[in-house]
Amino acid sequence: MNDKMISVVDNSDIDVETYNYIANQMNVDEELRNKVQSML
């Protein structure tokens, strides 16, 4: 999944700081994690 996330960051307007924030929140927020995973 990490390769997919890198691809998403590379192909979008998201910056590294925002990506890192989302990645960290995914560790503590199951609903967010499920939402992001469904988007991949």
What is the distance, to the nearest Å, from the Cα of residue 13 to the centroid of all Cα atoms in its chain?
13
Structure pTM? 0.58
DSSP string, 1-39: -HHHHHHHHHTSS--HHHHHHHHHHHHH-HHHHHHHHHH
| pLDDT tens for each residue of 6-18 | 777 788 888 878 8
Instruction: Give the HSE-up count for residue 6: Cα atoms under 13 Å, Cβ half-sphere.
Output: 3
Mean pLDDT for the chain overall = 85
pLDDT confidence band for 22 (50 / 70 / 90)? confident
Six token digits for residue 35: 């939402």
Q: What is the pLDDT of residue 13?
A: 83
CA atoms of 39 and 28, how far apart (whole Å): 18
